[in-house]
Amino acid sequence: MMDPKSFKAVAIRSPRGAKLTEIDWADGHKATYPHELLRGYCPCAGCQGHSGEIKFIAPAPHQLEIDRFEGVGRYALQIVWFDGHDTGLYSYKYLRSLCQCAACAGSSEAAAHRPVSRA
Ligand SMILES: [Zn+2]
Ligand SMILES: [Zn+2]
């Protein structure tokens, strides 16, 4: 099982205008998330419907800018997008599973259907 620290974010950096957000995790891991990934995997019912399975939904170019993050309890982060979309609640566990780095590859639930990195 993963260390609970793997699911605790200690710092979030998302410079205005950037298309990337960096999250430092309490276990020392630094993850970088392209906004295309975050938006494409928005877990809200509006984006994902009610099928239960999270899938990547390619966002439009104007949907890639983040306005701000709001903490939701200790377990999740709400992402408020610049186009007004704010219904996505990303649990830290879910966010961690979206990390695309080599260290996380293959160890997450999202690995099987994560998009190819464009970096
Ligand atoms: Zn959504
Ligand atoms: Zn990682």
C-beta atoms surrounding 36 within 10 Å: 19
Q: What is the pLDDT of residues 52-111, one digit of tens each?
A: 789 999 999 999 999 999 999 889 999 999 999 999 999 999 999 999 999 998 654 544
Alpha-carbon span 102 to 62, nearest angstrom: 29
pLDDT of residue 119: 40
pLDDT of residue 118: 42
Q: What is the number of the ligand closest to the CA of 33? A: 2
Q: What is the pLDDT of residues 79-94, one digit of tens each?
A: 999 999 999 999 999 9
Alpha-carbon span 29 to 2, nearest angstrom: 12
Tell me which of 114 and 104 has the higher pLDDT: 104
Residue extents of the structural domains in the chain: 4-113
Architecture category of domain 4-113 in CATH: 2-Layer Sandwich (3.30)
Q: Can you tell me the mean pLDDT for 30-40? A: 97
Ligand 1 centre to CA of 36 (Å) is 12
Q: What is the number of the ligand closest to the CA of 89? A: 1
**In which order are the strands placed within the sheet that holds 66-72?**
66-72, 76-81, 88-91
Q: What is the number of the ligand closest to the CA of 102? A: 2
